[in-house]
Amino acid sequence: MRPVAGTAVRFLLAAFVAWNLAQAATITITGSWSRVIGAGDLTGGPGSNLTATYTSATNQVLMGVTGAGNRNWRVDVRRIDTIWHADFVLSIRRTNNGTAGPGTVTGGTNYLQITATSQTFVTGRRNRTGITLQERLNGVSVSIPATAYTTTILFTVVEI
Amino acid sequence: MKALKTLMVGIVFVLGLAGLTFAQTTASQTVTMQISAISVLGVTGNPAALTVTAPALGGDLPDNPTSNTTYARYTSTVAAGVTRRLQANWGVADGAPAGCQLQLTATPAGLPNQGSSSGQITMTSTATNIVTGIGSCATGTTATSGAQLAYVLSVDTMTALVAGDNHVVTITLTLTDN
């Protein structure tokens, strides 16, 4: 009887591990932001500078966190530059509370400057999807050489 | 053997807690910002008429009439290492009154990337540099922003002047890549 009980305990523990791994919170990001800045963005015709600030649509990016079970989580953001300009200031904010799932999301409703260092953007509990995000770029001027600039925003969900 | 089993159970339990506590996943999004090459040029208006008038003292040559009240404003964005130039010309059918030449000097404000004056040129139908070395810049939009345009109608041959000879010409300014 005792060997059977031991096997059962080991099975249950293995199942516990597998369940945890299978239930790890997962983040999904949908959408990207691309903006061409040209002569139409001058503030006042010939001789004027470019508009300094550009914002995406309020629902430019959709974020969802699933597989969180009943657990709390946070989402960290950071930037990985491909070609970027030092004058650019890229920020992000949350524009709704999500549209589906039993969970909640809090924080992040004010613009957070995205840097190369990971920072907490929002926190939440349980599954929540349909969270809309808006991005903003500051620091544009004619002193920035004409070319395409690309950066990748890395979103990481961490269970807490 | 029992100790080994206990150890295994402990490891499995710790792994389970680790999965519970430190699980994380990532997703990414690309942001692309394209600064286009911009070349926008304007002038603040037309210069005053350049009229050859009588000298103060009989026997003198008339003064060369001038006008320096207009400015060329420009906004330019270029790729790294690229510069532009500002050129001027008039049409093939245009010309100065007999005995005269039309001369132009463009003088930028001296701010970064707004370029350097090429000095005084004599207007022809061939586009000629008046400012060179223009990079990414915006001259500004006030009444006196940009490269000041100084026109001079130079009386070269007094004996060729014809009273009443009136010419209206169109000067074309072009901001172009080098």
Q: Which residues of A touch B1 (CB under 8 A)?
A: none
pLDDT interval class at A23 (50, 70, 90): low
Contacts 24+ apart (CB under 8 A), A33-37: A33/A60, A33/A61, A33/A135, A33/B29, A33/B31, A33/B32, A34/B31, A34/B32, A34/B33, A34/B34, A35/A137, A35/B32, A35/B33, A35/B34, A36/B34, A36/B36, A37/A140, A37/B33, A37/B34, A37/B35, A37/B36
Q: Does B22 touch chain A (CB under 8 A)?
A: yes
In a domain, A19, yes or no: no
Mean pLDDT, rounded, for A82-96: 98
pLDDT at B4 over 70: no
pLDDT at A18 over 60: no
Q: Which of A10, A17, A115, A118 to mutate to probe the B interface, most B CBs <10 Å?
A: A17
Closest chain B C-alpha to A101 CA, distance in angstroms: 19
pLDDT for residue B6: 52
Q: Do B27 and A9 touch (CB under 8 A)?
A: no
pLDDT at A59: 98
> Measured between CA atoms, how close is B39 to chain A, in angstroms?
8
Q: Strand B24-35 vs strand A33-37: parallel, antiparallel, or unpaired?
A: parallel
* B 103-132 near A (Cβ less than 8 A): 113
Is A17 contained in some domain? no
Q: Is the ipTM of this complex over 0.95?
A: no
In a domain, A2, yes or no: no
State mean pLDDT over B46-68. Answer: 96
Q: Which domain holds residue A75?
A: 25-159
Do the domain assignments include residue A136? yes
Mean pLDDT of all residues in A78-99:
98
Q: So where are chain B's domains?
A: 38-177
Give chain A's domain count.
Answer: 1
Q: How far is A120 from chain B (nearest CA, A)?
A: 13
Residue A16 lies in a domain: no
Query: SS3 of A125, please?
Result: strand
The model's pTM: 0.82
Q: Which residues in chain B touch residue A34, judged by CB atoms under 8 angstroms apart?
A: 31-34
Query: In this complex, is the C-beta atom of A21 within 8 Å of any C-beta atom belonging to chain B?
Result: yes
